[in-house]
Structures are given as structure tokens and as C-alpha cells.
């Protein structure tokens, strides 16, 4: 018997960081330090009493816009069968067609899309990874949150050691400073400290093509798992060229906001690691669409941020990805993800496996329910 969406509760949440952090975009003067994450949560209830929860997020700007956009278009989902996720997705895209099919428009819809996938898996009494068809019960995990540029080398070493002792398998630090020699000094110090531990670096788009080629050549000596975002995120041709030139894999894609933007990498001959972000690409539905195409192209996967969502999607990718560990969103959920032996383990709870915490309610700045209460 077909069900129908009865109501949607949207929540605008502002989560402050304990300590402001800076990547290379701050040191090059392009952005201010990051002090908070703004999230859009969606809770879905159906006529038959089924429920689902999803979220999207923004950093520095865009959070209020996401909330406003979904509040404006969400009504078209009321009364639709929650199992028809792609059809609902398309109806929301048409409802907001005048603002396009990427960026804020799709990031807003992403929160509802994730909630519908969570609902579908909960109704099936399966973890989302199992509903999608998991290849594995755990994925390799690396930590980024301890490697930002406002921290000294000694601080990063301490945080890296703590992460490894907690069961995390790899460490990523930020690079891309105006003084490239300082980047190399920090990388050398961390490589010495980590030994043969898997190690990644992230330039956050701060090099031009000439500097990127020089830095990639210098970084070859450190046996890195990857060099992330050496160029502007939309420079598909430049990233493709680097991926074919150097032995160290190139990683990019976290900033891209649609399947076509990601496919520009494939079309340019990219041979690196793709890093789609489900909330940024528009939800689980477009993430899965691109993941199929990326797998067909033989690309490795390392989804960005939002481990609460991406662990499930990574577990369903044919080749084992790395999943990024950020503890920042922990206060918003009652449950914690199990991490041990260098792996992040898929929860055995239905859906995403998370329930919203009282702290999330306290951090909610605005909320609205659309449809029957």
C-alpha cells in the first residue's frame, strides 16, 4: 500500500566550533577563520507513521539561504509517496527552477533527499549501506580536524598521535600557505613523526598551475596518499593534467555542486581521486548517480566531510574509499560511529543510524513544519 509524506519539519541550526580554524584560504586573505557550521535539518513524517532525518550544511555563508529556499519549495513534496525519491527530487528542482540546479538550490534539497533515503532504509529495517548494497562493513578512515594551519607543528603532532591512538588510520594536514617553504617544512616534520602512517595534504585551491606543478614535484618525496585541491576546484583540465603527470594521486571534487560539474573532471581525462560531498552535490540521489559514473571510469572515491552520511555511501562503492573523520557534528546526534583498527564501521542501526540530540534542539535558531502537524 502506498504511503504519503504528511509533514516536513525544517530546522536552521548554528553549531559553533570550540576553536576557530584556518586553512590556506585564510592565510592568503580570501576568507576569514571558520567559527561555525550552519546546518539545515529535515525531519519527514508519513501518513503511515514512518520517519526519516537528513541534513545539509554550509560554512561561512549560505546557511540561511538553504533554509529559506527549502522552506519555499518543500510543499510540493507533501502528499507524494516517500519511496519515489527521484521523482520527488525532480519536482523540487522544477519548483525552484528559476535559481538553477546547483549551489544553494540543490544543497537545500539535499537535506530532504537524505531524509527520504534515511526513511526508506528505516522502513526496510536496514542500515542505509545495506539498502544500497554494501561491499563492506567498514571503510578506511583518516582525520582532518587536527591539521589546520592555525595550529603549530607540535600541536598537529599531538593531535595526530591522539587520532591514531583512537583507532584512526590516516592523517591529513593543510598546506597552501603564501610561503611554500613553510608548507614543505611542516609536511617533512609530520612525515617524520608519522613514520609509514598514511598521510595526505590539502591545499584548498590556493595554487595556480605553475605553483601546483612545482609543489606536486616537491611533495612526491613524502609518499603521500594524495594531494588535495592543488588548483581552483573548477579547473578540471588542470587537475586532470596533474593527475596524469605525477605518481602521487590528486584528489578534488568537494566544492562541486552538481553531477555535471563532477563529470567535467571525467571528460577532461582525470585519473585521480574524486571527493563528492552528498550535501553539496545535492543529496544522496545525485551522489549515487555520479558514483556509478566514477566507478565506470575507474576512479577512486574519498567523500568529503559529513561522515554520518558518507560512511554508508562509501561502503556501497565497488573499491574501498577513505572516509573523512570530523568530530565537529558529534553534539548534534545521540550516537557515535565506531572507529577501530584504522577503520570506520557502518552502524547496524536502521537508516543512517542517528537520532537528533537535545543539544541540536538548543542550537536551532528557527524551525517550521510544512504539512499536517
Exactly one of 262, 304, 310, 325 is catalytic; name it. Answer: 304
Q: Tell me, what's the pLDDT at 320? A: 93
What pLDDT does residue 373 have?
Answer: 63
The three cell numbers locating residue 33: 577563520
Q: Is 159 among the catalytic positions?
A: no
Has domain 5-125+358-371 been given CATH number 3.40.50.150? no
Question: Where are the chain's structural domains?
Answer: 5-125+358-371, 129-345
Would you state the cell numbers that stand for residue 132, as one nine-digit string?
544500497
DSSP β-ladder status, 34-46 and 322-325:
unpaired
- Nearest alpha-carbon partner for 315 in 336, 290, 346, 349: 346
For 234-266, how does the pLDDT look when each residue is reduced to its tens digit (9 = 90+)? Answer: 999 999 999 999 999 999 999 999 999 999 999
Q: What is the pLDDT of residue 103?
A: 81
Task: Give catalytic status of residue 174 as yes or no.
Answer: yes
Binding positions for Mg(2+): 202, 228, 254
Q: What is the pLDDT of residue 70?
A: 95
Binding residues for substrate: 23-25, 59-60, 172, 204, 324
pLDDT in the model for residue 28: 81
**In degrees rounded to 5, what are phi and psi of residue 174?**
-90, 145
Q: What is the distance between the terminal CA atoms of the chain, rounded to a whole angstrom?
A: 22
223 contact partners, CB below 8 Å, separation of at least 6 = 191, 196, 199
Is it true that 5-125+358-371 and 129-345 share their CATH fold? no
Could you tell me the mean pLDDT of each successive run of 10 residues in the chain, 373 residues long? 93 90 77 84 97 92 88 95 96 82 87 98 98 96 85 92 95 92 95 96 95 96 97 97 97 94 96 96 96 96 95 97 92 95 96 96 95 78
Q: 129-345: which CATH architecture?
A: Alpha-Beta Barrel (3.20)
Strands (E), the chain: 5-21, 34-46, 51-59, 138-143, 170-174, 199-202, 226-228, 250-252, 273-274, 300-301, 322-325, 338-340, 343-345, 364-371
Catalytic residue among 174, 239, 262, 312: 174
Which residues sit in the known binding site?
23-25, 59-60, 172, 202, 204, 228, 254, 324
pLDDT in tens, 179-221: 999 999 999 999 999 999 999 999 999 999 999 999 999 999 9
d(CA 114, CA 14): 19
**The C-alpha cell that represents 106 in the structure block:** 540543490
- Cα(36)–Cα(17) distance, integer angstroms: 5
- The span from the CA of 12 to the CA of 41, in Å, is 7
Q: Taking each helix axis as running N to C, give the angle between helix 236-245 and helix 209-219, from 0 to 180 degrees, rounded to the nearest 10.
A: 30
pLDDT digits (tens, 9 = 90+) for 309-331: 999 999 999 999 999 998 888 99
Amino acid at each position: 500500500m502506498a504511503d504519503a509524506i504528511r509533514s516536513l519539519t525544517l530546522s536552521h541550526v548554528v553549531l559553533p566550533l570550540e576553536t576557530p580554524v584556518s586553512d590556506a584560504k585564510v592565510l592568503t586573505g580570501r576568507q576569514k577563520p571558520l567559527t561555525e557550521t550552519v546546518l539545515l535539518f529535515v525531519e519527514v513524517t508519513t501518513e503511515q507513521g514512518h520517519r526519516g532525518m537528513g541534513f545539509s550544511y554550509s560554512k561561512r555563508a549560505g546557511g540561511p539561504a538553504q533554509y529559506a529556499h527549502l522552506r519555499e519549495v518543500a510543499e510540493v513534496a507533501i502528499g507524494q509517496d516517500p519511496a519515489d525519491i527521484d521523482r520527488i527530487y525532480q519536482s523540487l528542482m522544477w519548483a525552484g527552477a528559476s535559481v538553477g540546479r546547483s549551489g544553494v538550490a540543490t544543497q537545500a534539497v539535499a537535506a530532504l533527499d537524505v531524509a527520504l533515503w534515511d526513511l526508506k532504509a528505516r522502513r526496510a529495517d536496514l542500515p542505509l549501506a545495506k539498502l544500497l548494497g554494501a561491499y563492506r562493513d567498514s571503510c578506511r578512515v583518516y582525520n582532518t580536524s587536527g591539521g589546520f594551519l592555525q595550529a603549530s607543528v607540535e600541536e598537529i603532532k599531538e593531535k595526530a598521535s591522539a587520532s591514531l591512538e583512537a583507532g584512526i588510520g590516516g592523517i591529513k594536514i593543510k598546506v597552501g600557505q603564501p610561503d611554500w617553504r613553510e608548507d614543505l617544512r611542516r609536511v617533512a616534520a609530520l612525515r617524520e613523526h608519522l613514520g609509514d602512517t598514511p598521510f595526505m595534504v590539502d591545499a584548498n585551491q590556493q595554487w595556480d598551475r605553475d605553483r601546483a606543478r612545482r609543489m606536486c614535484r616537491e611533495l612526491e618525496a613524502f609518499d603521500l596518499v594524495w594531494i588535495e585541491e592543488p588548483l581552483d576546484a573548477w579547473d578540471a583540465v588542470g587537475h586532470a593534467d596533474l593527475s596524469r603527470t605525477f605518481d602521487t594521486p590528486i584528489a578534488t571534487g568537494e566544492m562541486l555542486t552538481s553531477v555535471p560539474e563532477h563529470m567535467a573532471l571525467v571528460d577532461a581525462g582525470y585519473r585521480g581521486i574524486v571527493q563528492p560531498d552528498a550535501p553539496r552535490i545535492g543529496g544522496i540521489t545525485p551522489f549515487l548517480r555520479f558514483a556509478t559514473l566514477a566507478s565506470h571510469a575507474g576512479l577512486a572515491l574519498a567523500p568529503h566531510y559529513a561522515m554520518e552520511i558518507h560512511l554508508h555511501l562509501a561502503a556501497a562503492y565497488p573499491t574501498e574509499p577513505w572516509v573523512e573523520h570530523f568530530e565537529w557534528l558529534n553534539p548534534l546526534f545521540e550516537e557515535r560511529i565506531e572507529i577501530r583498527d584504522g577503520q570506520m564501521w557502518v552502524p547496524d542501526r536502521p537508516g543512517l543510524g542517528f537520532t537528533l540530540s537535545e543539544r541540536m534542539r538548543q542550537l536551532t535558531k528557527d524551525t517550521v513544519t510544512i504539512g499536517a502537524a
